[in-house]
């Protein structure tokens, strides 16, 4: 049984409340530990420590900050197996996925921003022969970082690395549902030599610890990743304090397959984009649109591949689909399957809890990968983020119709388009309302590109120099010549 404490000023400390939240392994339903149930007092202590550390960290040369961040990346790499194991136990995700995506990406995040700060440039504007303007970018102080449970270490490091690389100190609040890798990361930052107070991690519920961070007057910047509804609450609290805010929110992403696509590749990748991490990835393509002339063939192949997915113990290296994060979340996803039936949809495969699970995981929160057909785009199941292993399939007649379907929700995070016609790919990509459009691929991530959502999928962009811009304030210095 692991007890997770807060990490404040380089020390592991119990929460002021003295209370702890149970930490449940979603694959077994068993309690594997507990984590600090923190509130405003803990957040305040972390902010004080971060503000104190800021004075010297902001003056630490970029080369030294870079060296320390690279050391963190190296330590994550040295502890690769343990971190993958913890991520899988904590979140119910297949260990193979944690090894393939979560941990490698955490390493890349630190290496990427550690080296990016060595190449950052600023602008200079000459005003005829009258003045020389130059821009300096300065860190803001204490960065508040709030991350979700679906990619815990991946998304936490996506925030911590650029925040501290740019010279800020931070107070991070991971999801209370997945505290284990954040706790390990805290220890690794200490081992790497990151000075006390630069990285602080406060565990606890979003409603208390998270809100304390978004409304703290000494935290000028909030980077939030989570649901759209929570994002609105973050904005409502941070807005009146004029904080800089970045919101990475939910998605209901279209995955459009044209008749001229390489169907074999489209099927194989669509299986990933539908069901990877049990569909609990904001970028999952949960609405599949297939051109009518190949609809039947595509659906046949897609259903065949879905049935081959191995659902079971996430610790088994051959498992493709693990457990959903909590029992209430499983029930919510099942509720959407039921709603799909009521809305006139047909469940082509899945839709129920699997039978014959290995004994160790018999009480876990599993749902079979589910494919639903026959729903109108305006139905709730086609409009709301389900965030589970559930995908809808819908035929379309023309590119215009596919675009209209794709844009018919309030979300705009990402999309995939499958076609071998380059002209069509560019045209459709330009017309889709989303922050990212993948053509003939999915989840191919270059960390330099702008990442974020349109409409209710978010505010602002992260990634590459966009992240470093977000975590710094631009200042113009105008010198009269
Ligand atoms: P969530 O409920 O919004 O929680 C996200 C984080 O915010 C957690 O740390 C949560 O803490 C905290 N929180 C909850 N209420 C808060 C409040 N009022 N003020 C401040 N913080 C608060 O989201 P989730 O269920 O963890 O994650 C799933 C959602 O995240 C999905 O909608 C998914 O699409 C989205 N997501 C988006 C991206 C992206 O890049 N756009 C990436 C990943 C996930 P507790 O969990 O401890 O309550």
Decide if 248 is catalytic: yes
| Residue 161 pLDDT | 98
Ligand 1, from 146, 158, 230: best to mutate by most atoms within 8 Å of Cβ? 230
C-alpha closest to that of 378 among 356, 345, 414: 345
Nearest CA to ligand 1 atom 13: 206
CA distances from residue 286 to 10, 11, 236, 273 in whole angstroms, order as listed: 41, 42, 29, 8
Cα of 40 vs centre of ligand 1, distance in Å, is 18
Looking at the CA of residue 214, tell me the nearest atom of ligand 1. 20
Give a three-class secondary structure readout of the chain. CEEECEEECCEEECCCCCCEEEEECCCCCCEEEEEECCCHHHHHHHHHHHHHHHHHHCCCCHHHHHHHHHHHHHHHHHCHHHHHHHHHHHHCCCHHHHHHHHHHHHHHHHHHHHHHCCCCCCCEEEECCCEEEEEEEEECCEEEEECCCCCHHHHHHHHHHHHHHCCCEEEEECCCCCCHHHHHHHHHHHHHCCCCCCEEECCCCHHHHHHHHHCCCCCCEEEEECCHHHHHHHHHHHHHHCCEEEEECCCCCEEEECCCCCHHHHHHHHHHHHHHHHHCCCCCCCEEEEEHHHHHHHHHHHHHHHHHCCECCCCCCCCCECCCCCHHHHHHHHHHHHHHHHCCCEEEECCCCCCCCCHHHCCCCCCCCEEEECCCCCCHHHHCCCCCCEEEEEEECCHHHHHHHHCCCCEECEEEEECCCHHHHHHHHHHCCCCEEEECCCCCCCCCCCECCEECCEECCECHHHHHHHCEEEEEEEEEC
| Residue 109 pLDDT | 98
Cα of 397 vs centre of ligand 1, distance in Å, is 37
Nearest CA to ligand 1 atom 37: 249
User: Cα–Cα distance between 316 and 90 in angstroms, integer?
Assistant: 15
C-alpha closest to that of 178 among 93, 97, 284, 75: 93
Cα of 210 vs centre of ligand 1, distance in Å, is 10
Looking at the CA of residue 229, tell me the nearest atom of ligand 1. 3
Looking at the CA of residue 413, tell me the nearest atom of ligand 1. 41
Selecting among 37, 87, 176, 248, the annotated active-site residue is 248
Nearest CA to ligand 1 atom 4: 226
Q: What are the residue boundaries of the structural domains of the chain, listed by start?
A: 2-249+457-480, 254-446
User: Cα–Cα distance between 111 and 109 in angstroms, integer?
Assistant: 6
| Residue 333 pLDDT | 98
Decide if 124 is catalytic: no
Ligand 1, from 24, 148, 211: best to mutate by most atoms within 8 Å of Cβ? 148
Could you tell me how far CA 427 lies from the centroid of its own chain?
28
Asked if the 2-249+457-480 domain carries CATH number 3.30.830.10, the reply is: no
Looking at the CA of residue 251, tell me the nearest atom of ligand 1. 34
Cα of 345 vs centre of ligand 1, distance in Å, is 29
Pairing state between β 11-13 and 6-8:
antiparallel
Cα of 175 vs centre of ligand 1, distance in Å, is 7
Looking at the CA of residue 176, tell me the nearest atom of ligand 1. 47
| Residue 1 pLDDT | 86
Cα of 92 vs centre of ligand 1, distance in Å, is 17
Cβ atoms of residues 254 and 406 within 8 Å = yes
Looking at the CA of residue 231, tell me the nearest atom of ligand 1. 3
Cβ atoms of residues 326 and 24 within 8 Å = yes
Ligand 1, from 23, 37, 206: best to mutate by most atoms within 8 Å of Cβ? 206
Residues ≥6 apart with Cβ < 8 Å to 301: 263, 264, 267
Cα of 3 vs centre of ligand 1, distance in Å, is 23
Cα of 230 vs centre of ligand 1, distance in Å, is 6
Within 10 Å of residue 471's Cβ, how many Cβ atoms? 27
Q: Which CATH architecture has domain 254-446?
A: 3-Layer(aba) Sandwich (3.40)
Residues in contact with ligand 1 (CB, 6 Å cut-off): 146-151, 155, 173-177, 205-207, 210-211, 214, 225-227, 230, 233-234, 248-251, 282, 385, 387, 413, 453, 458
Nearest CA to ligand 1 atom 16: 206
Q: Which two tokens stand for residue 91?
A: 């979140």
Residues ≥6 apart with Cβ < 8 Å to 110: 69, 70, 72, 73, 76, 157, 161
- Given the structure tokens 């009146």, which residue do they identify? 240
Nearest CA to ligand 1 atom 12: 206
Selecting among 169, 170, 282, 377, the annotated active-site residue is 282
Cα of 147 vs centre of ligand 1, distance in Å, is 6
Cβ atoms of residues 324 and 390 within 8 Å = no
Nearest CA to ligand 1 atom 23: 226
The tens-digit pLDDT sequence of the chain (481 residues) is 899 999 999 999 999 999 999 999 999 999 999 999 999 999 999 999 999 999 999 999 999 999 999 999 999 999 999 999 999 999 999 999 999 999 999 999 999 999 999 999 999 999 999 999 999 999 999 999 999 999 999 999 999 999 999 999 999 999 999 999 999 999 999 999 999 999 999 999 999 999 999 999 999 999 999 999 999 999 999 999 999 999 999 999 999 999 999 999 999 999 999 999 999 999 999 999 999 999 999 999 999 999 999 999 999 999 999 999 999 999 999 999 999 999 999 999 999 999 999 999 999 999 999 999 999 999 999 999 999 999 999 999 999 999 999 999 999 999 999 999 999 999 999 999 999 999 999 999 999 999 999 999 999 999 999 999 999 999 999 999 9
Same fold, 2-249+457-480 and 254-446: no
Nearest CA to ligand 1 atom 20: 210
């Amino acid at each position: 049984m692991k007890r997770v404490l807060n990490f404040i000023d380089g020390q592991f400390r119990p929460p002021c409340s003295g209370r702890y939240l149970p930490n449940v392994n979603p694959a077994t339903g068993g309690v594997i530990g507990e984590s600090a149930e923190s509130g405003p007092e803990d957040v305040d202590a972390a902010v004080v420590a971060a503000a104190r550390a800021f004075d010297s960290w902001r003056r630490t040369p970029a080369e030294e900050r870079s060296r320390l961040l690279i050391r963190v990346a190296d330590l994550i790499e040295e502890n690769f197996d343990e971190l993958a194991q913890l991520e899988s136990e904590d979140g119910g995700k297949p260990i193979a996925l944690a090894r393939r995506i979560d941990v490698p990406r955490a390493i890349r995040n630190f290496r990427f921003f550690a080296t990016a700060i060595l190449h950052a440039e600023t602008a200079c504007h000459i005003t005829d022969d009258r003045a020389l303007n130059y821009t300096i970018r300065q860190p803001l102080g204490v960065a508040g970082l709030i991350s979700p449970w679906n990619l815990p270490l991946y998304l936490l490091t996506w925030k911590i690395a650029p925040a501290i690389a740019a010279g800020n100190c931070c107070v991070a609040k991971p999801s209370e549902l997945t505290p284990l890798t954040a706790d390990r990361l805290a220890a690794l930052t200490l081992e790497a030599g990151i000075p006390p107070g630069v990285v602080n991690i406060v565990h606890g519920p979003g409603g208390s610890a998270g809100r304390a961070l978004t409304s703290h007057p000494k935290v000028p910047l909030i980077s939030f990743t989570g649901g759209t509804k929570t994002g609105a609450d973050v904005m409502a609290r941070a807005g009146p304090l004029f904080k800089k805010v970045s919101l990475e929110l939910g998605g209901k992403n279209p995955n459009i397959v044209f008749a001229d696509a390489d169907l074999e590749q489209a099927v194989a990748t669509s299986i990933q984009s539908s069901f990877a991490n049990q569909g609990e990835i904001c970028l999952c393509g949960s609405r599949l649109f297939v051109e009518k002339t190949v609809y039947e063939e595509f659906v046949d192949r897609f259903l065949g591949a879905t049935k081959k997915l191995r659902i079971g113990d996430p610790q088994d290296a051959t498992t493709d689909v693990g457990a959903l994060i909590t029992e209430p979340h499983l029930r919510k996803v099942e509720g959407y399957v039921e709603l799909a039936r009521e809305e006139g949809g047909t469940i082509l495969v899945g839709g129920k809890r699997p039978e014959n699970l290995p004994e160790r995981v018999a009480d876990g929160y599993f749902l079979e990968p589910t494919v639903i057909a026959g729903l109108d785009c305006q139905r709730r199941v086609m409009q709301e983020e389900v965030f589970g292993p559930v995908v809808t399939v819908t035929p379309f007649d023309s590119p215009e119709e596919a675009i209209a379907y794709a844009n018919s929700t309030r979300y705009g995070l990402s999309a995939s388009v499958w076609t071998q016609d380059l002209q069509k790919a560019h045209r459709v990509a330009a017309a889709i309302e989303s922050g990212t459009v993948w053509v003939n691929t999915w989840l191919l991530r270059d960390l330099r590109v702008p990442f974020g959502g349109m409409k209710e999928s978010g505010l602002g962009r992260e990634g590459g120099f966009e992240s470093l811009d977000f975590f710094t304030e631009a200042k113009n210095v105008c010198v009269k010549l």
